[in-house]
Structure 1
Amino acid sequence: MRGRTTYEETGMRPLSKLSVRTHTAEGKAECPLFRRAVLHPRESLGLRLVAGSTIVWVKLRRLETRAPAWLPGARRRGWNGALFRGTDVTICSASDRRSGGQVHSGDRIRLPMIMSWKRFCFVWIAVLVPFALAAVWLLRLERGIEVQPAGVPGEPLRVVVLDPLCRPLVREELRIVARDYTPLGGLLEQAVGRPVALSYGNRLADTLHQAGSPDLILGQEAAVLAEAAQFNESLRPLARLTDDRGATDLAGVFLVREAAAAKNIGDMDNYRIVFGPPGEPQRHAWALAALSQWGIAPVPPIKTVPTGREALQMVAQNRADAAVLSSFALALLEDEDIRKLGPLRVVGRTEAQPFITAFATARIGPATEQAITMALLSVRDHPPVLEMLRSKAGFVPLREEPPAKKEPPAPAPVTEWTDWRGPDRAGMSPDVPARLPATVKFLWKRGLTGASPAGIAATATHVIVADKNEQKDQDIWRCLDADTGKELWTIAYATPTEMEFTNAPRATPVIHGGFAYLLGAFGDLHCVSLYGNGILWRKNIVQDFGARLPAWGTCSTPLVVDDSLVVSPGATEASLAALGLYTGEVLWKTPGAPAAYGSLILGTFGGVRQIVGHDAESLGGWDPNTGQRLWTLKPDKKGDYNVPTPVNIFGRLLVATENNGTRLHNFTPDGQIRPAPVERSRDLAPDTATPVVVDGLVFGCARGLVCLDLNDGFKTLYSAQGDGAFKEHAALIAGYGRVLAVTVGGEVILFQAARDAFTPIGRLRVFEGTEVWSHPALVGDRLYLRSMNEIVCLLLSETP
């Protein structure tokens, strides 16, 4: 801008506040860049310019200066700092008006930096100190030093109680055995020197929203460990709570009328049995497993009631022949109203499992953990606390658990891999090891007669793998002994021989409640007893629903939802269908598009429990009770094969496909998906491999291993080939800040979930000259792997 600049003094002191105007050929105009200019004599004529809160570029003839909005103090004081050097102006004070207060473009003066060295040092100290304090805090946390020292009042010790018998949660009928944890809170408060905040819930996820991250969790062991694995929460068991009999376990109990002929569970064939809801495994899944072990199939339809009292009343009134109760509910037999109905007796129990266990979380250090443990073990010395907890011996160390009278001791907890991608289809496991052994060690291995991409399902005792006969005209499902690899039973049936990429099964076997659900590539679906007692029911979901067989066959692994099995026939009137778990009867079906090749998941999104997954054309959500389509989302680009499974990330949905990349979607409060993804990545676009999420990082396989930052806009942190191991496909299992990968080339790779670079911990070459497309099963320290012609049990522990 050419012309002259006039500085009119507005303050009383020399070189104080001045207004700025610009004179141009067209006349006077207020300068659009500045609100005011401030001259400070003590800062050697430092000049500060105000132009709002944004970055300002000031141009005076041959000079450009930048005023960054982030300069400390800029927003607070209402101005942005600017540095002028070698400007084209001369500044006159009130005592020097020889130029009449006007300066011309030919006059020059050099203005120094706006800040003195003293202020400069102060600003940088203010910026750096918070970062230094944060670094010290992180170091102390890493070393396990308590942020809140014991004995100093401050942040409360957060204790989450997930005991179904605690007073706030217990059903009315069980008030006689209800536990009051308030006195225990008092003991803990004395032990750690901090206030104790107790919160209660049926699920860990519920309490996280209410009370934040817990320090101590008291709950049913298997349920707590399973849910903690989903949240990647590291837990340390401290002690178990004894009940009024001195036992620490839980089981389901079968009861019949006194006059019934049955003497044990094996005598209950054709008995009408009343079970509990699926949310009580001791009355439902464990009971069904016990029946299956005896070769007993429940009489359809499966009858469930919410309370033990209702179940006993049905038996006493001859509306049922047997009932399943929780072992802690046997006190109901002493209830006067129940005794009036007639005598009942126990004929069998399910396998017992650990009940209430105390877990420490990573939020507390060694000192607090020791204080908590000692407080728990001291409960036995406080009779009033024992009485309120309905406990005979209080908490006992895990190594000193007293067995219940006339009952076997509780077995050690065992993880299982009973579904596609493991529990909850999350690709997560608490059994991901910290390191791999130096060499390959097999517990056993055995040959197979055909290739199959179907995943493996396994428990502590059984392993199920899909196979083909040598003529490729029969599907064969083999159940093997988990310890020896010896064949326990097989199921075989005829199939057509022509299909792309073999005609073998693709879907992973599903093990639930003592039964296995086996789906072949041509739609053949069988429900069989896990313990070798034959086929309970069978269907062909393609033929029975009038669907068209996809080019690569039926691939979607059936989904267990309560007492139903949800399948994807892909028929016009039955895009999805729900079958009775123990009968195969059609419970509902919903119209829609042909089937996709990926599997469905069950989750809660936007507060609505729903089935989520793909059909051939879109992503969708369905009501698990009715099959009603809740929402539909079609991708920007068509042509996805929709093979990878969607991933539930705490109520948000991660979707990854080859044409549209990886997207993260939020939901409305009424369970509808928000069409526009909140994050998107084109770098991770897998055609077959489902990503995993661990420690805020997304790992997936798409022409290499790709790592995305979940919390930074899906920023690609790095992509690694792993010496070509991740070029095509890899099955990924995450847990405790690590990822276990099984590659197509037959290599097992353990790597750290690191942000900066691919960080392998160990690698093992398991197979040579073959490919691995079957998803492995991880159970404890055993990794079950299937190549095109062999299944092996690989030991991941260092000790034999």
Structure 2
Amino acid sequence: MLKPLTLLACLTLGLAPWASADEPEQEPLNMVVMDPLAAPLSCPCVEGYAQRKYEKLAEYLTEKLGREVTVSFGESISRAMEKGDIETAHIIIGKDSVVRGDAAKLKFRVMPVAQLTGKDGSTTQTGLVVVRGGDAAQKIEDLEGYRILYGPQECDEKFAAPRELLAQAGIDVVAAEQAETSAACSDGACKIIEWGDSEKAAAVISSYAAPLLEGCGTIQKGDLRVVGETKPVPFVTAFVHRKVAKEDRRAIRQALVNSLDDPELMLALETLQGFVPVTKEYRELYKTKAAEAKAAKSQESTTDSASTDSATSTDAAQTEQPAPASTTLGWTGWRGPHRDAHVRALPTSLPELLPSVWQVPLAHAGLGGVAATDKYVVIGDRNLPNTGDEFRCYDADTGLLLWMVDYPAEGHLDYDNTPRATPLIVAGKPGTVMESPRVYLLGAFGDLTCADLATGLIYWQKNIRQEFGADNELVWGTCSSPLVVDDKLIVNPGAPEASIVALDLATGLPIWQTPGNTSGYGSLITAKLGGRLQIVGHDRTSLGGWDVATGERLWTLVPPRKGDFNVPTPIAIDGQLLVTTEGNGTRLYAFDDAGRIVAEPKAVQPQLAPDMSTPVVVGRRVFCVCRHLYELDLDNALVEVARLEDRSLDDYAPILADSERLLVLAHGGELLLIDITGPEPTITSRTYLFDDPQTREAELYSHPALVGNHLYVRGETTLARFDLGE
């Protein structure tokens, strides 16, 4: 059937200008493989299945094209490029919808050239809706009221297709932004088994993954039962970047199609008919999708302006588009957008009773802070069995769950395993790869995720400890909140050759890495000190500064007394640096003209020595909680001006500040409003935020977020929003 194409391929390949002896050697073609059945991306649990050897395809293409073809593997384009140490991808082979979504995020213009057939000759896959073996549901119509765990939004067979199937069956389908998702088929399957009779739930898995779940022992035979199957969607497709010359694209396509003539390659790729030309049905599918998207966009642009604001989030969810880059940013990370805990204005008083606007349950008490905008609230948690991280995003107005990023992260740490780092929200840049706002999520075991703020769509993921070779014992976990400066994401793996690292915001690829000590437990800042912009913070044993552009370590300061935990965040004040730790007290340092710290501090206050609390600076005064509220004078050698003692003040309390007041989250979730305009701090209002006994007895280590007058606080068992008034 395909024999006539062989002659055409020979003619085409003969004309393609790949290997003329008179021409200089061309650069290699880089092939990125994202096929979930490729050997490096799967497991060898089922003999003869999910072990596709794309290295053989690279060898075949090299021979046929007369030009070297390299191969790199990854769950995403950027991850494969990073692993292969390549700057671009010419050929991309993977799950159709995932490649399309990933390429769009990277602004890669790709075109499909061929589809890979499976062992049954099919080019499609389906989504399987499964329940526990003993569940009462027998068919898709029985799932009304069930909790549905979908796959990632970019996986058509696990998200768009099953949502369509459920809707056609008359099931009430939640809005896309409220849909619960699991990163992998095994995650969703295991969760519904784990919940047992306590939850009426179903999960969606990919048809190709079904044999692997039992084969790898993830589930046992009979644990799950299929109650519905989606319509077929394209499975593995080969794409070529449009910057590849037209005649070269044609040659690649024909070489792929003619691979059927190589029996050994067919065995290596576990395929019946090899690659086949893109079908008419495939092209019609995407023509229809494009037309629907265009129509939706046209309808949106003509919508009456009076209804635009209320419709925007729903429309965006239904078309699975990111939120516009104009989303107002607010408390975007650790201690707010400037890492100084300052807000424009605090209320003049607090009511005696401050009811929550909404509360949502959390699986575990946690240390990590809250990040929030006017639309979204993001927080880190763990799953119920404490075997994986769960970062959740809630609607700021209603508290409805919009999305969740979850993944396995097993281990045991002091103070439990919840993420320590506060999520970092970064504004979008229209017209660039970073079109929409993103959020960066760091778990306690080093798992770092870049996700779309509006949808939770994952752009890239990596474990910074594993990738950079950190082998020190994790006692308290990876704690430092990610930092952004000059389009670089700064993290500190604490590895011998990568104590601190700068990553590309869009791709996660390393920009620079600097050798050094294991990481400390505090967060980094950026500051211009001695006329030089630098990254400042602690490693395990010292304070340091690093050049933003190169990562070069500019200076090191080891304090007189060893053993500090190095948790509080340094504060830059008018070209000087305020540092506080439990073993060496509070110190103020100057810098020379080269941007290096002067080792002898300008001032020392040994009484203020917190092990966790970070001070706030208001005017020329320093405020910090360490069993009391201290007030120090910056202009008078950090002398203690006043000390406020109160039953609610313990070893730690986060502080938010404006120019006249402090808002302190004290022991047991008691909120204190403190006037600082007089000769000494004075509590003017106080109120308990939570009624549950667990929170009333707890020290709340999670830093709250304030956006406008909306205060987001993590209790021991819930995340809540409170409105403080004007």
**What letter is aligned with 1:481?**
D
What CA distance in whole angstroms lies between the structure 1 residues aligned with 2:348 and 2:327? 19
User: 1:594-643: CA deviations, max 9, x gaps?
Assistant: 10000000110111000000001110000011110000111011110000
Residue 782 of structure 1: aligned partner: 710
Three-state SS of the structure 2 residue aligned to 1:729 is coil
Please give the root-mean-square deviation of Cα atoms over the aligned residues, in Å: 2.9
What CA distance in whole angstroms lies between the structure 1 residues aligned with 2:103 and 2:479? 39
Is 1:730 paired with 2:653?
yes
2:483 corresponds to which of 536, 539, 559? 559
Answer yes or no: is the 8 Å Cα contact 1:437–1:797 preserved in 2. Answer: no
Residue 207 of structure 2: aligned partner: none
The offset of 1:270, in angstroms, is: 5.7
User: 1:460-504: CA deviations, max 9, x gaps?
Assistant: 000001111221112111100000000000011112241111111
The offset of 1:695, in angstroms, is: 2.4
Answer yes or no: is the 8 Å Cα contact 2:380–2:389 preserved in 1. Answer: yes
What CA distance in whole angstroms lies between the structure 2 residues aligned with 1:502 and 1:600? 23
What CA distance in whole angstroms lies between the structure 2 residues aligned with 1:460 and 1:431? 16
What CA distance in whole angstroms lies between the structure 2 residues aligned with 1:608 and 1:434? 39
The offset of 1:412, in angstroms, is: 11
Closer, same or farther: CA 266–498 of 1 in aligned 2, 3 Å: closer
Answer yes or no: is the 8 Å Cα contact 1:602–1:611 preserved in 2. Answer: yes
Answer yes or no: is the 8 Å Cα contact 1:733–1:741 preserved in 2. Answer: yes
Closer, same or farther: CA 794–412 of 1 in aligned 2, 3 Å: farther
| Bigger Rg, which one | 1
Is 1:796 paired with 2:724?
yes
Is 1:510 paired with 2:438?
no
**What letter is aligned with 2:340?**
A
* Correspondence list, 1:286-435, <5 A: 416-435=330-349
What CA distance in whole angstroms lies between the structure 2 residues aligned with 1:586 and 1:755? 50
What CA distance in whole angstroms lies between the structure 2 residues aligned with 1:495 and 1:539? 12
Three-state SS of the structure 2 residue aligned to 1:711 is helix
Deviation above 4 Å: which 4+ runs of structure 1? 265-270, 410-415
Residue 606 of structure 1: aligned partner: 530
Answer yes or no: is the 8 Å Cα contact 1:697–1:755 preserved in 2. Answer: no
Query: Which runs of 5 or more residues in structure 2 are unaligned?
Result: 1-100, 110-175, 178-242, 245-296, 298-323, 428-436
The offset of 1:577, in angstroms, is: 0.7
The range that moved more, 451-460 or 746-755, is 746-755
Residue 383 of structure 2: aligned partner: 469
The range that moved more, 410-419 or 660-669, is 410-419
Closer, same or farther: CA 413–533 of 1 in aligned 2, 3 Å: closer
**What letter is aligned with 2:689?**
V
The offset of 1:456, in angstroms, is: 0.2
Answer yes or no: is the 8 Å Cα contact 1:529–1:535 preserved in 2. Answer: yes
Is 1:676 paired with 2:605?
no
* Correspondence list, 1:179-198, <5 A: none
Three-state SS of the structure 1 residue aligned to 2:338 is helix
Is 1:622 paired with 2:536?
no
Residue 749 of structure 1: aligned partner: 672
Larger helix proportion, structure 1 or 2? 2
What CA distance in whole angstroms lies between the structure 2 residues aligned with 1:415 and 1:576? 27
1:521 corresponds to which of 444, 458, 479? 444
Closer, same or farther: CA 557–660 of 1 in aligned 2, 3 Å: same
Answer yes or no: is the 8 Å Cα contact 1:773–1:787 preserved in 2. Answer: no
Residue 397 of structure 2: aligned partner: 483
What CA distance in whole angstroms lies between the structure 2 residues aligned with 1:267 and 1:714? 54
The offset of 1:441, in angstroms, is: 2.7
Percent of residue pairs bearing the same amino acid type: 44
Task: Output the TM-score relative to the length of structure 1.
Answer: 0.49
User: 1:102-156: CA deviations, max 9, x gaps?
Assistant: xxxxxxxxxxxxxxxxxxxxxxxxxxxxxxxxxxxxxxxxxxxxxxxxxxxxxxx
1:773 corresponds to which of 701, 712, 715? 701
Residue 635 of structure 2: aligned partner: 711
Three-state SS of the structure 2 residue aligned to 1:641 is coil
Answer yes or no: is the 8 Å Cα contact 1:694–1:753 preserved in 2. Answer: no
Three-state SS of the structure 2 residue aligned to 1:745 is helix
**What letter is aligned with 1:507?**
A
The offset of 1:268, in angstroms, is: 6.2
Answer yes or no: is the 8 Å Cα contact 1:550–1:595 preserved in 2. Answer: no
The offset of 1:736, in angstroms, is: 1.9
The range that moved more, 645-654 or 762-771, is 762-771
Three-state SS of the structure 1 residue aligned to 2:465 is helix
Residue 443 of structure 1: aligned partner: 357
What CA distance in whole angstroms lies between the structure 1 residues aligned with 2:326 and 2:401? 25
Is 1:271 paired with 2:107?
yes
Residue 697 of structure 1: aligned partner: 621
What CA distance in whole angstroms lies between the structure 1 residues aligned with 2:371 and 2:488? 19
What CA distance in whole angstroms lies between the structure 2 residues aligned with 1:612 and 1:658? 19
Closer, same or farther: CA 415–754 of 1 in aligned 2, 3 Å: farther
Residue 764 of structure 1: aligned partner: 687
What CA distance in whole angstroms lies between the structure 2 residues aligned with 1:681 and 1:478? 40
Answer yes or no: is the 8 Å Cα contact 1:646–1:653 preserved in 2. Answer: yes
The offset of 1:427, in angstroms, is: 1.2
Task: Output the TM-score relative to the length of structure 2.
Answer: 0.53
Is 1:740 paired with 2:663?
yes
Residue 192 of structure 1: aligned partner: none
Three-state SS of the structure 2 residue aligned to 1:700 is strand
Is 1:541 paired with 2:476?
no
The offset of 1:269, in angstroms, is: 6.0
What CA distance in whole angstroms lies between the structure 2 residues aligned with 1:655 and 1:433? 29
Closer, same or farther: CA 550–721 of 1 in aligned 2, 3 Å: farther
Residue 498 of structure 1: aligned partner: 412
The offset of 1:533, in angstroms, is: 4.9
The offset of 1:420, in angstroms, is: 0.3
The offset of 1:414, in angstroms, is: 5.3
What CA distance in whole angstroms lies between the structure 2 residues aligned with 1:688 and 1:619? 16
What CA distance in whole angstroms lies between the structure 2 residues aligned with 1:553 and 1:270? 32
1:593 corresponds to which of 517, 522, 529? 517
Closer, same or farther: CA 590–266 of 1 in aligned 2, 3 Å: closer
**What letter is aligned with 1:728?**
D
How many residue pairs get matched? 407
The offset of 1:272, in angstroms, is: 5.5
The offset of 1:549, in angstroms, is: 4.1
Answer yes or no: is the 8 Å Cα contact 2:105–2:459 preserved in 1. Answer: no
The offset of 1:413, in angstroms, is: 10
What CA distance in whole angstroms lies between the structure 2 residues aligned with 1:597 and 1:480? 27
Residue 365 of structure 1: aligned partner: none
Answer yes or no: is the 8 Å Cα contact 1:752–1:760 preserved in 2. Answer: yes
The offset of 1:795, in angstroms, is: 0.6
